Amino acid sequence: MDDATRKNNQIVQDAINRLSQEILLLKERAQMSENEILNLKAELANSKQLMGHMLGRGMGSTA
Condensed to tens digits (0 to 9), the pLDDT of residues 24-45 reads: 999 999 999 999 999 999 999 9
Structural domain spans, the chain: 1-58
* Nearby residues of 48 by Cβ (< 8 Å), 6 or more positions away: 63
User: In terms of pTM, does the model score above 0.85?
Assistant: no
Name the band, by pLDDT with cuts 50, 70 and 90, for residue 56: confident
Q: How far apart are CA 16 and CA 8, in angstroms?
A: 12
